[in-house]
Structure 1
Amino acid sequence: MITQHEPLVEQRVEAWLTQVVLGLNLCPFAHKPWRDGQVSIRVSAARSEDEALADLQAEITRLDDTGAQDLDTVLLVLPYLWPDFLDYNDFLDVAEEALEHLERADTYQLASFHPHYQFGGTAPDDAENLTNRAPYPILHVLRAASVAEAIARHPDTLDIPEHNIARVEGLSKAEVQRLFPWLS
C-alpha cells in the first residue's frame, strides 16, 4: 500500500544523501554511482518485519536482474518500522540472515542507517553517531564487487572513519540542526 507520504520520504532521503553523505564526503565511493544515476531510493510501505524482508528480497532480485552499469546500489527506506534503534539493530541480524538464506551474502553487503543510530561504546549524543544517522531507517544494499573495486581505487580506506568522525565533530550546532533536522 503506497501512501501520499512516500514522495516526501524519498525527497528527505535524497536531501540527506546529497547534503550529508555526499556533501560532507562521508562516503567517498558514493559520488560516482550517484552522478551516474546508478542509485535507487526505494521507499517501502512495509509495516512488519516479514514485509520488510519481502521488500529486501525484491530489491536483491532487481539488482540480480539489472547490470551494475544501470543499478549499482539500493537504499531501501523503511519509514513505518523501527522507530527504536535497538529494535532496528535486531532486525539487521535478520536481514543478514536473509542474505545468507538467499545465498547472496557474497554478492551483496548491507550498510545501515537510522535516525538514532548509535555505535557500540558511544553515548547517544556523541557526534560520531551522526555518520550513520538518516531521516528514516535505511538498509543500503551494495554490490560486494563494486565495494571491492572502490576500495581498491581508494588510497587509504582505513582513514575514512577517522575522517568522518572529524568532519561531523567539526560541525557547528547550526550546521547539525540544518543537516539533521529530525534530531531537533
Structure 2
Amino acid sequence: MISDQQIIDATRQWLNTFIIALNICPFARREQQRDSIRYRVARAEGTETTLETLIEECRFLDEHPETETTLLILPNGFADFDDYLDMLDIAERLLQAQHYEGTYQIASFHPAYCFEMASELEQDDPANYTNRSPYPMLHIIRESSIDRAVRSYPDPENIPARNIQLTRELGLQKLQALLAACYPE
C-alpha cells in the first residue's frame, strides 16, 4: 500500500514539474515558495466522510491564515471520474450550506479529468491535462487570495486559453509522460 507521504510526494512533484514548471497556474509558485500549501490525504472511500473532511479543512484554513490553500488528496473511492463529479457537485453545495460561499472555492483535479464540453472523441484532448493530477483532488482556495492574485496579474482572463494552447503544443505523449513520472514506483 502506498503511504500518505508517497501520495503527498507525488502530488508535490506534479505541482512542481507540471503546474509550476509549465506555469499552468501562475499563482502556485509563490505559495509553494512560501510553504503555505497544506497537503491532506483523505483515505475515506465514501462521499459523506470526504465531505466531512472538506469542512474540517475549511475550518483549519479559518484558524490558520498563514496557510493559503489546501490540496485535499483523495486516493481511494473516486477513481471513476463520474463518481468524482457527483461528489464535487455535493461538495460545492455543502460549501454554500455551511456559509463558506465567498470565502472558499474548490478547484477540481482528477487523473481522468475531462472538460464538460469535450465529447467522448475528445477525451484525449491535451487541454484536459490542465486539470489532470496523479490522484483525485479538491483544491480549497481562499476567494480573497484569488481576487488579490487576479488583480495583480496581467491579463488573467487569458490564462485558460494560454494553457489550452500550451498543452496542445506539448502534445498528448509528453503530457502523459509528465503525469506518469509523478507516481510512486
Supply the distance in 2 between the matched residues of 1:144 and 1:65 (Cα, whole angstroms). 16
Equivalence for 1:108: 104
Q: Quick one: which of 18, 25, 45 aligns to 1:47? A: 45
Q: In 1, are the aligned partners of 2:126 and 2:175 still within 8 Å (CA)?
A: no
CA distance in 1, matches of 2:116, 2:176: 24
Which consecutive residues of structure 1, in runs of 5 or more, have no partner in the other structure?
none
Q: How big is each residue's C-alpha offset from its partner over 1:89-125, in whole Å with a ceiling of 9 and x where there is no partner? A: 1111100111011101110010000000000121210
The DSSP-based 3-state class of the residue aligned with 1:135 is coil
Q: Could you tell me which of 74, 80, 87 is aligned with 2:70? A: 74
Give the partner amino acid of 2:69.
T
1:164 match: secondary structure = helix
Contact 2:45 2:78 in 1 (8 A): no
Assess if the C-alpha contact under 8 Å between 1:46 and 1:52 holds in 2.
Answer: yes
Q: Amino acid of the residue matched to residue 61 of structure 1?
A: R
Structure 2: which amino acid aligns with 1:11?
Answer: D
Superposition pairs for residues 149-160 of structure 1, below 5 Å?
149-160=148-159
Aligned to 1:99: 95
Determine whether 1:33 maps to 2:31: yes
**1:114 and 1:135 in contact (8 A); partners too:** yes
Q: Specify the SS of the correspondent of 1:180.
A: helix
Q: Figure out how many residues of one structure are paired with residues of the other and give that number.
A: 179
- Give, in angstroms, the shift of residue 178 of structure 1: 2.6
CA gap 1:131/1:4 in 2 versus in 1, 3 angstroms: closer
Q: Is the 8 A contact 1:78 1:137 kept in 2?
A: yes
Letter in 2 for 1:76: L
Once the two structures are superposed, residues 8-54 of structure 1 have per-residue CA deviations (whole angstroms, 9 ceiling, x without a partner) of: 11111111111111011000011111110110111112121111011
Query: What do you get for the CA RMSD once the two structures are aligned?
Result: 1.6
Structure of greater relative contact order (alpha carbons < 8 Å, 6+ residues apart): 2
Alignment partner, residue 177 of structure 1? 176
Identical amino acids, percent of aligned pairs: 36
Q: In the alignment, residue 115 of structure 2 is paired with which amino acid? A: F
Deviates more, 1:118-127 or 1:136-145: 118-127
SS at match of 2:14: helix
> Does the residue aligned with 1:134 lie in a helix, a strand or coil?
coil
Distance in 2, Cα, partners of 1:91 & 1:174: 30
